[in-house]
């Protein structure tokens, strides 16, 4: 029973982390939309908005790497889940880069 509970606990951690990853990607999209409206209305992006986006992007990237490489999650991952995470590496990197580029020079262009 203990072994079975341990397996379910590890699964729960992975599911929780994957859900966090999804939530963070939604928050990035929302923060970018809010940034667009802020730039439209004020012609500049407030430091608080930049800090918020930077924090969300950092958490998003960290969560991805934890899913992919953290040993506790690796032990319970399947070849299929690793293939999905590998396929997501480029889109995650592109999202992080796009946000970093935007934060370097916030503009509507």
For 28-63, how does the pLDDT look when each residue is reduced to its tens digit (9 = 90+)?
Answer: 999 999 999 999 999 889 999 999 999 999 999 999
- Check: CB of residue 36 under 8 Å from CB of residue 108: yes
For 76-97, how does the pLDDT look when each residue is reduced to its tens digit (9 = 90+)?
Answer: 567 777 888 889 999 999 999 9
- pTM (predicted TM-score): 0.83
CA torsion, points 1, 17, 64, 46, in degrees to nearest 10?
-160
């Amino acid at each position: 029973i203990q072994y079975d509970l341990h397996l379910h606990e590890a699964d729960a951690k992975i599911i929780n982390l994957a859900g966090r990853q999804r939530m963070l990607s939604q928050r990035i999209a929302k923060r970018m939309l809010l940034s667009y409206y802020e730039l439209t209305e004020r012609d500049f992006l407030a430091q608080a908005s930049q800090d918020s986006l930077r924090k969300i992007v950092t958490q998003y990237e960290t969560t991805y790497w934890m899913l992919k490489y953290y040993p506790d999650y690796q032990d319970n991952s399947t070849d299929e889940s690793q293939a999905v995470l590998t396929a997501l590496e480029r889109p995650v990197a592109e999202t992080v880069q796009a946000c970093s580029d935007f934060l370097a020079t916030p503009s509507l262009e």
